Chain A
Amino acid sequence: MIIAERKPIDELKGFIAEAKKVLVVGCRGCVTVCNAGGTKEVGLLASLLRLDCEKEGRQVQVDEHTLERQCDPEYIDELLELVEKKYDAILSMACSVGPQFIAARYPDQNVFPSLNTLFIGGALKHGAWAERCQGCGNCVIHRFGGLCPIARCAKSLQNGPCGGSAGGICEISKDVECVWHLITTKMMETGRAETDFVPVQPMKDWSSSRDGGPRTIIREDLVK
């Protein structure tokens, strides 16, 4: 899923500094699962903003609404009734796709991103998430024992490890495991180092990644 976290409250306060009516919009997709922008987080942010405005002596109405998803136009349409109430600011608590879709659908609205979208990843445990994919567009993890060197190596090395790997730890931080240490260890432990492990990986074609520009998929069996 897409992992995101809420922006610092000071930055959000800046977004609504001049506003009298604010709408906080959540998303029941990825950001609900990673506890960043679901119904609960919408409630917390709206409450914090209401309290802060009261503290500043400002009369500001902060409303809350959560959509099924903010990355689908059919759900963005649901906001029409609310948008007609003329909000001075709409704070989207989705990944950055959400505020873009809302801004595109309602061009006269002031839409602000309330989250910082961080990465594609998964939960290590409750409350902890880690990056596992960079969306390179051509998955090759089967070559590396199910571990992704593109997402998990600081240099995205296809042929590692580099000289910055020491004791299984990456030189960038003592908290970051060297994925190439994990890959080689796993390959040796499972007896696949000699048979399945291609010693030198061919050059990767990055045109399927961001290097090829913004990507679009059109499914002919689905598109109308």
Chain B
Amino acid sequence: MAKEEYTITVYTENQIGLLNRIAIIFSRRKINVESLNTSPSEVPGIHRFTIVIHEMEDIVRKLVRQIEKQVEVLKAYYNTSDEIVWQELALYKVPTSEITEKVKVERLLRQYGAKAVVIRKDYTVFETTGHREETDGLVKVLEPYGLIEFVRSARVAIIKGSRGFHEKLKEFESMAEGPELVENEFLAHQEEVFDI
């Protein structure tokens, strides 16, 4: 089994200390968190963590179960990159003199879909959103033109197949459980498994 990029989405109560509880599940196993974002979710009062790691699926599944085991976690999902729509935001600070004088820069910025957020006499801040390759690409391009600062946000992701958390929360509040809470990969191969 090869390592792959997985995006873990965790729906939680909004509780102090939960970030640490979730973070140490990774650090205890010496797994590097490549990106971590916390934000509100579609449901008022419910928080949403988006965590990106590079690991084997088997390990990711176990991590997700450990996360779900935490008292204040409602549900955790994991997805490969083709199962989600995701974006990252990046900011670039460049000397204004460079970009006003060199037409080529302006063309590049257009090409990368960058927007100016702040324009001052001494510097200009641009913003792009997109996938990692896109935001990284602009860094390389801007470096020769005196890139002063660069920063990129954590990933935010929408699960393509998800119908949102409103229904799920109702299940949790009524103590009922949907079928997806019980997963067993062998159930699809019953004939092989049950043949002694």
A associates with B: no
Q: Which residues of A contact B (CB under 8 A)?
A: none
Q: Which residues of B contact A (CB under 8 A)?
A: none
